[in-house]
Every structure is written in C-alpha cells, then in structure tokens.
Amino acid sequence: MSRRRRAGHGALFIVAMLFASSGALRLGSGIGAALAKSKEEAPPVEATSETCEMPSSLAEALTLREDRVAAQEAALKDRLAALALAEAAISKRMEEMKAVEKELKATLALADGAAEEDLQKLTAVYQAMKPKDASALFETMAPEFAAGFLGRMPPDAAAAILSGMSSEAAYGVSVIVAGRNTSAPTE
C-alpha cells in the first residue's frame, strides 16, 4: 500500500509539471510578438511642462542654495580675516602695554630709590644734629612724620631725641612707632 501511495504522488507531480510547462510555452510564444507590436504602436514621449518644470525648479532651487552657501562662505572668510587682523592688533597692543609697564616699573623703581635715598639722607641729618635741637624740631612735626624718622634711626640716637621732647609728644610718637606693625601678618 505504501508503494501505491508513492506511485500516486509521483504521477500527480508529473501532471502538474506538464501543465506548468504548457502554460509557460503559451505565455512565452506570445510575449515576443506582443513586445514587438507594442514598440511599433507606442507614440513618442513628448516633453510635457510637468516633467520639465520639476527638474528646472529643482535646479533653480539648488542654484539659489549654492549661491547662498557661497555667500555665507565668503562672509565667514571675511570674518576670519577680520578676526585675524583683530588678533594681530591685540597682540601688538599687548606687547606695547608690556613694554610700557616695564618702563613704568623702572621709573617707579628709580623714583622709589630716589625717595628712599632722600629719606636716608634726611634721617642722617637729624641723627647728626644735637639731641636738644633735634628734639625741638621733632616736637613741631606731626607725630606720624616724626615717628617715621625715629623708626629709621638707631635706638640710641632715637632715645636721645625722645628724651629731649615733652612727655606728651614723646608718648604720641612712641605709640605710633609701636603700633606701626601690629596689623602685619605673623605667619
């Protein structure tokens, strides 16, 4: 029984294959003629306004976009050139400022040195004076001014001048000298 079933399946397959090949032959034999006939009868394709406008409008849009991009690129190049010029000008200005700052520091150093030299000379003059004469002079000075000179003198010369001053004036100058460095950092 199993052989019969197999034989039946094989026959059905063969019949199906024959039908399929017959249909393919019929279909194939008419295709060539149909294609030849359709080429002879087909009217030439005319360019309609619809098919031409679409590509020309697209081309026009692309051209406009290309022009805008070119204009933006040119603007960016101009901006970059302007930035480069500005950067060069700023660099040059910074170098000039550094040179002026260096010159100003040198001038200030000269002025500070000259002022310090003048103070040293004046302190030496007050120190060389007789203590009695220097005391009379220091008593007429503003206490802050007198304290500056006494702070620069050796302790024995400052003591001789302070001892010749009135007790109120000597106390005022001593308080200023003692308090000058109280706000200085200790660490």
**Same structural domain, 109 and 62:** yes
Same domain, 98 and 147: no
For residues 69 and 104, state if they share a domain: yes
Residue 71 and residue 107 in one domain? yes
Q: Provide the b/e sequence for 64-87 (b: ≥16 CB within 10 Å).
A: eeeeeeeeeeeeeeeeeeeeeeee
Q: How many domains does the chain have?
A: 2
**Residue 118: partners with Cβ closer than 8 Å, 6 or more residues away:** none
In this predicted structure, what is the pLDDT of residue 55? 80
Closest CA to 174 of 185, 163, 186, 187: 163
What is the residue-averaged pLDDT of the chain?
Answer: 83
Q: Are residues 143 and 94 in the same domain?
A: no
**Average pLDDT value for residue range 3-23:** 73
Write down the pTM of the prediction: 0.43
Burial (Cβ within 10 Å: 0-12, 13-18, ≥19) of residue 146? buried
Helix axes 143-152, 49-128, angle to 10 degrees: 80
In a domain, 152, yes or no: yes
Q: What percent of the chain has pLDDT over 70?
A: 79
Please check whether residues 133 and 87 belong to one and the same domain.
no
Q: Does a structural domain hold residue 29?
A: no
**Residue where one domain finishes, among candidates 114, 144, 163:** 114
Q: Which of 2-16, 42-56, 113-127, 165-179 has the lowest mean pLDDT?
A: 42-56
- Taking only the tens place, the pLDDT of each residue in 48-100 is 555 445 588 888 889 999 999 999 999 999 999 999 999 999 999 999 999 99
Higher-pLDDT residue of 168 and 21 is: 168
d(CA 42, CA 48): 17
* Mean pLDDT to the nearest integer, 33-62: 65
141, two tokens: 């000075």
From residue 121, give the alpha-carbon distance in Å to each of 116, 153, 173. 9, 11, 21
What's the domain range around 94?
57-114
| DSSP state, residue 129 | S
Q: Residue 52 has what pLDDT?
A: 46
The Cα–Cα gap between 152 and 142 comes to 16
Average pLDDT, stretch 101-123? 88
Task: Give how far Cα 74 sits from Cα of 62, 90, 107, Å.
Answer: 18, 24, 49
